Every structure is written in C-alpha cells, then in structure tokens.
Chains A and B, each alone.
Chain A
Amino acid sequence: MISSPFLLGGPRARRLLPFVGARFARALLVLCGAIFMPFISASAAETTPIKIGHYGSLTGKDAAFGVATGKGVQLAIAEINAKGGVLGRPLEYLVEDIQSKQGESATAVKKLISRDKVAVVIGANASANSLEAGPICQNFKVPMMAISSTNPKVTEIGDYIFRICFIDPFQGAVLAKFARESLKAQKVALLTAVNSPYSIGLSDVLRKDFTARGGTIIAEQKYSEGEKDFRAQLTAIRSAKPDVIAVTGFYTEAALICKQARDLGLTVPFIGGDGWEAPQLTELGGKAVEGTYYCTYFSAENAASEVRSYVDRYKARWNQEVPEGVSALGYDAMYLIAAAMTKAGTTEGPKLRDALAATKNFPGVTGSTTIDEKRNSAKAAVMLTIKNGRSTFFESVTP
C-alpha cells in the first residue's frame, strides 16, 4: 500500500515518504549486515533499535486522534533516545495508518508484528479499532497498550491487552454526576452512535447512573457514524424538552449535531465524552459548540509543574500546538512501556507483559497510573468547556 504510485504527492504520502526512505535505508543496513556479519562482534546486535509499533487513524474522520497520539509518542521516544534509550538500545517509531476505516486495524497490526517484528504495539484510539487488533496481539503474545479505547471489552480480550485511559463505566459516571450536580439537570436526552462500541457503552452507563441519581432519560435517539443529517433526531428530542443533551459519539458528528440543534432553536447545553476532544470540534462547530462540556484525561491548563514542562516541550517540538488528552496519553504510554522494559530487562513478550501488569503509581502527565488486575488504568477525569473557540478547564470530577 505504501509503495502505491497513486499515493505519491498527497499529504499522506508526504508523511509516509520519510518512512519509506527509512525502510529502504534499513533494508540496505540489513544487506550490509549480512555481508559483513562475520566481522562484526555480537555487541552490535545489542544496539539494534527496539521497534515500537503504533497503529491509528492518520487520515479520515478520526484522524485528529491518531495524529495527536503519534505526536505524543514521538516526543517521548525522542526524549528517551536523547537520554540513551532503553536497555542501552534506541527506540524506533513505526506507524501504520488505519484510515478511520473498520477492518484496517487487523491488517495494520499483523503487518507491524509479523513483518516489522515490533516489541510492543501502541493504539488504537477508538474502541472499535482496538477490539479488532487486540486478538492478533494476544495471539502473537505482543503486549498492546490501547490509548483512548474506553470500552471495558477491550482489555477483556486477553492478558496481553492493556490501556492507559479510564474506562466507560468511570467516564459515564463522571458525566452523569456532572449533568446532575454541576448542571442541575433533571431531564437528559441521549444521542448514541449505534455502530460504535464506545458510544453504546458510554450511553449505557450514563443512562444507568443518571437514573440512579434521580434524573430521567427523557428521550433516546440513535445515529450512525459518518452520517451528516441529524435534524430528524433533534426535532424529536426538541419535543421532549430536555435540560441537557448528551452526545456519546465522536467529534465530527458531535459538531454537526450541535450546529443543527442550534439551527432548530435548541439552546440547552450539550455534554460528551473524550471522543469530543479534537481541534475539529470548534473548527466545524464554530459558535454552535460554545458552552458545551466534555470529559477528558488531561487539561493543558493544569498548573502542576510536570504538566507545564510537558506542554512547553510539546509546543517546542510540534510548532506551538497545544497538547490534547490523547497526545498526553500517548506520551505517558511510551514512558510507561519504557519503564516496564527496563524493569523486565528484556523486550520479550511474556516478560514485558508481566512487568506492564505490575505497574504501580507510575507518575505521568495525565496523573499517576496504576494497572489493575483487569489491565485498566485508574485515573481522574477533567471536564472542559468551550469558551471563545477554545477548550477551557471547567472542573475536576471524581464519581
């Protein structure tokens, strides 16, 4: 796919070209290695890079997540390599684009594991993608660290699947508490993306928790990812007169939904999960997303010194961009894996897995991470609100 001539010249190809170049250079190295092998001592093999595989959507409608995650991972790798790498070996970043398409994750991960022989797999963002790739990592006994896949089923795939984020029951509880206590909502309308395990899972918990807190789910409507017309669902919701509308899907649809809702005269606040966090939310939504709230892992406005220093380094590396939740998770994931490799003293799958599973109170920019017996990370959540076209810290919520 990478060598397809049709891709040359596009933005995607530009991103991949250095990558192709790197592959070519590597192929040459291997060739040279084969010729000079008898003359080189065994110590040369020790400094071969440790390959870190990342799969994510670099193009398509979920591209914001994959690109931001990759930037966090690459920043961590650059920092670790500058300090001498892991186990005396440098880290090498390999990335596969899954194009926001279902079915691509499995291919991408197979390629990373069987052809590139990566030591560990990082990704994906959407739960649907992680659910696809997980069984392959489990089969090959290569540890996988999911970034923002919050559906509980992801780590239930097997004992090689970990995640660096909180899970939907936690996030749903945060949203329910926020709607009930901070927004004082009595009636909530729910919009769920029926072809996204993430959205369905989050809606389930939100429904249960909000009702348990004495509120009512007054209307429930469904849509599919990739759709653009939500006026019909919103018209039905408008008749129910909710206090708050929760959209549990991703940012592209969320922005269009807010826009069409404002057109229909719905002025109530919208709330959403971490799937909302992307610059495209405000770019696409414009004025319509002002005053909406969403839950995420990390706020770049956090005053803690380690967060401030991370934000500065990220901005210096990536053209003054402000890091988002998923890039901070990618950064933390890479450091956590590096720490586990150091502790295990090897990059072999089973030993690395045990070291990852034993992670306790690992300090990161998204807070302290402890991997529990279900290989999930326990973390606090922050609520952000859109003010003047920017995501602004609103409050920390622990359910």
Chain B
Amino acid sequence: MSEFLQQLINGLSLGAIYALIALGYTMVYGVLRFINFAHSDVFMVGSFIGYYLGKHIPENTVWGGIVILLGAMLGCALLGMLIERLAYRPLRGAATLNVLITAIGVSLLLEYSGQVFFGATPRTFPAVFPSANFNFGNLVISTNQIIVIAVAALLMVGLQLIVYRTKIGTAMRAVSLNPKAAQLVGVNNDVVISFTFGLGSALAGAGGILYALNYPSIDPLMGVMPGLKAFVAAVLGGIGNIPGAALGGLLLGTVETFVNGSQWSTYKDAIAFAILIIILLFRPAGLLGKFTVEKV
C-alpha cells in the first residue's frame, strides 16, 4: 500500500510537469489551430536561463528560487513572442502544413543553437530552492515534489482565471472561435496571438525550472522527450482544452511511473502510448475535448 501511494506521489509530480508543458501546446492550438513544436525547446531554454541565473543568485533560498522561476518565465515569454513574430506571423494565412514544418524548423534551430551556445555536455542544475524530505511513515515527499505540484496547480488556476475572467482572455477565446469575426468587432488579433505565445512559453519556462529541480542534469536536447510526452498529454486530454491538458499530463505521468516501477519497465513508453491509442479509439477528441465536424 505504501509503495502504491509513493508511486502515486512520484507519478503526480512527474505528471504536473507534463501538464505545464501540455498547457502551452493546447493554448496555441486552441487559438491558432497548429502545433507549436518549438514549445519543448522553449522549455529547455527555460532550464538554461535558470542555470545561468543560478550562478548569480544564492542557492537554497526561497526568494532566490522565486526570482529564478520568474526570470525563466519572463525570458521564455519574450522568446515565445519573438518566435511568433519572426517565424509564424509572416505565415499567417498560409497552409497549416507550411506553419507546421516551420515549427519543426524552429525546434531544430533552438536545439542545435543550444548546442553551440550552451555546449552539448550536460550541466548540473543548481539546487535553487532549499530542499528537505518529509516522512509520513513509509511515505517520503521531498520539498521539490511539493513545489512542483504546488507551482503547477497555482499556474493552472491562474491560467484559467486569465482565460475566463479577463478582457484579454475573452479576446483569446474570441480569436479561437472565429478570427475574422473577432477582428470585425475590434479585437487586435496580432496582440492576442502574441500574448498567447508569451503566456504558453512562460508556462514552458516554469516547467523547465521545475523539471530541472527534480532531474538536475540539463542539456540542449533535454526538451525532446518531455515535449513529446506533453504533446501526447495535450491530445489525450483533448487538444485545445485547458483542463484536459492538465488531466492528460497527470494521467500520463502516473501511468508511466506505475509501469516503470513494475516488471515491464522496458516497455514503459510502449504501454503509455498504447493507452493513448485505446483512449483515442473510444474518444477521438480526447478525454475532455468536444468532437466537432470540420466545416467545409
């Protein structure tokens, strides 16, 4: 029983990170109807911003950790908006496939310029937050795991508030529903899309810091696997749906952890993805997604 609960905690803290990255995929998809493959590399850049900030900020302090977290989120938000401005805006209105290929190109550009600027050797991420372990009988929870789950929950609630309770959030939903009509009623689409990218990338940056806190070896290709898993989580929950992305992330992280702790750990990814296929067979639009017929 205690092993089950421990695995559940491990799974949730992994899933929370997937969920944070998945939110970025799902938001951009919701507004623009395309998959931003460069998102997972923005996540990597977030870790490296944290790594370089960590050299100037004392380790093991709460304020230092918060400064690093906010710094990485800000840096990634700017990067996300820059990518949108330079790579995606000129292609607005072009075929979806063109934008998709551009996204893959941007992703590779970030990965390999990361190898040039950061070096390909894995770096050790500093312990930015003070860490301790709490024991409940046989259960152990580390402060890092609590921070991951708490920060992820906080950011998701904040995101939900922004989307449903603010003016810019209403504009985002309007653009998502019908970009042309939104423009007709006076919404500045460029600003809204730019904001969406900034917000999604900030979440990826936070994800990067939280991931590196738990797994403190970072390298320019570190975003590839978590990015793929988060994309799957977004599809699993219903792409374009914010609570769906969170649910998908948590589910994927938990399943993966349980398989990993069993005898079949070699087939970890195969089992996780098989579950995805089965769910999509029965619910083609994902767990929380609504199935809509494409209008012709």
Contacts and interface: CB of A to CB of B under 8 A. Distances in A.
A11 to B, nearest CB: 5
The SS class assigned to the B binding surface is: helix
Interface in B163-178: none
Interface string A89-104: 0000000000100000
Nearest to B113: A6
B140 A264 contact: yes
A22 to B, nearest CB: 22
Interface stretch (A223-231, A324-332, A343-351): A223-231
B121 A10 contact: no
Given A6-B116, A256-B215, A284-B217, A265 B124 contact: no
Q: Determine which residue in B121, B124, B133, B262 has the highest number of CB atoms from chain A within 10 A of its CB, and name it.
A: B121
Contacts of B214: 228-229
A207 interface: no
Contacts of B142: 263
Contact of B121 (A59, A228, A229, A238): A59
Interface string B119-141: 11110100100000101000010
A252 B257 contact: no
Given A222-B266, A223-B265, A283-B124, A235 B216 contact: no
Interface stretch (B2-10, B82-90, B91-99): B2-10
B189 to A, nearest CB: 34
Interface residues of B, number: 38
Contact of A7 (B3, B116, B140, B258): B116
A235 B215 CA distance: 16
Contact of B217 (A12, A13, A228): A228
A10 B10 contact: no
Contacts of A238: 3, 6
B119 A59 contact: yes
Contact of A59 (B120, B260, B261): B120
A280 interface: yes
B120 A60 contact: yes
A221 interface: yes
A229 B112 CA distance: 24
A229 B14 contact: yes
B219 interface: yes
A319 interface: no
B122 A252 contact: yes
A12 B113 CA distance: 12
A136 B257 CA distance: 40
A222 B265 contact: yes
Nearest to A259: B216
Contacts of A229: 10, 14, 214-215, 257, 260
A63 to B, nearest CB: 5
A361 interface: no
A379 interface: no
A259 B14 CA distance: 16
B291 interface: no
A211 interface: no
A203 to B, nearest CB: 13
A10 B117 contact: yes
A183 interface: no
Given A10-B115, A233-B261, A265 B140 contact: yes
Interface string A251-274: 010011001000111000000000
A265 B7 contact: no
A18 interface: no
B260 A232 contact: yes
A333 to B, nearest CB: 24
B116 A10 contact: yes
Given A6-B116, A222-B266, A236-B261, A231 B122 contact: no
A326 B160 CA distance: 54
A38 interface: no
Nearest to A231: B10
Nearest to A229: B14
B133 to A, nearest CB: 6
A12 B261 contact: no
A10 B112 CA distance: 11
Given A232-B10, A265-B140, A280 B124 contact: yes
Contacts of A255: 217
Interface in A201-259: 221-224, 226, 228-229, 231-233, 235-236, 238-239, 252, 255-256, 259
**7 nearest A-B pairs in the assembled complex, by CB-CB distance:** A232-B260, A228-B215, A232-B261, A59-B120, A10-B116, A231-B10, A236-B261
Given A59-B121, A63-B120, A232-B10, 10 more contacts: A10-B116, A99-B120, A229-B10, A229-B214, A238-B6, A239-B2, A264-B6, A265-B135, A265-B140, A286-B127
